[in-house]
Structure 1
Amino acid sequence: MTISKTKSSYYRRLYVAHLIETGIASVPALIEYTGMPRRTAQDTIKSLAELDIECVFQQTKGERNHSGHYTITNWGAINKQWIKENLTDIKSALDYP
């Protein structure tokens, strides 16, 4: 199944937001789970704001490095239930297992 770059970018953002919501909430965890390159994971998280999905980084208490995880604080106009119901199609379109 071939999809446009626009649609794949949109689906990737929805998928990453879903993963963050379900506890796969750091760049290393996203890389390990999806196999996507580090830069893609970082850029995708950063671009969630373009969909009005508010994603914040919560640093681990007492840590001086970048240890922590991301949290979705607001989904904006995105229906996260729709993502759950269509997750198989989203993953298939992105060629993720």
Structure 2
Amino acid sequence: MSLNQPVSKQQKAFYRKLFIAHQIETESHNLLSLHKLTGMPRRTLQDSIAAFSDLGIDCEFVQDEGRNNSGSYKIADWGPINATWVSQNLAQIEQLLN
């Protein structure tokens, strides 16, 4: 991954999904907490999470025992994505997204 080359819209969407998946993997998050952490619009977050399956990432929403829609996302399987690589390159991914 090179920071010197321009990043296409498709590449940016790909890296955004990896970034969001990493955040979900490392900490318990719902849509509101992801919005506060990333500053991304809620709709962008929803669309990105919904498109995880395009990359082979299996993400689930785990419902709390409390009220409806209370819970957090969980990465059940990274599929073909190397989660260690994402973690090791997180700073570069963040730079590409900003």
Indicate the TM-score class for this superposition, using the shorter chain for normalisation: over 0.9
2:64 is equivalent to residue 73 of structure 1: no
Match of 2:44 in 1: 40
How far 1:24 moved relative to its partner?
4.5
TM-score normalized by structure 1? 0.92
CA distance in 2, matches of 1:54, 1:7: 20
TM-score normalized by structure 2? 0.91
Q: Which of 9, 12, 15 pairs up with 2:19?
A: 15
CA distance in 1, matches of 2:42, 2:80: 27
Give aligned pairs, total.
Answer: 94
- Where structure 2 has 5 or more consecutive residues not aligned to the other structure, the ranges are none
The 4+ residue runs of structure 1 with deviation greater than 6 A are: none
Identity within the alignment, %: 44
How far 1:25 moved relative to its partner?
1.8
- Which structure 2 residues correspond to residues 22-61 of structure 1 after superposition, within 5 A? 22-61=26-65
Is the CA contact (8 Å cut-off) linking 2:64 and 2:70 kept in structure 1?
yes
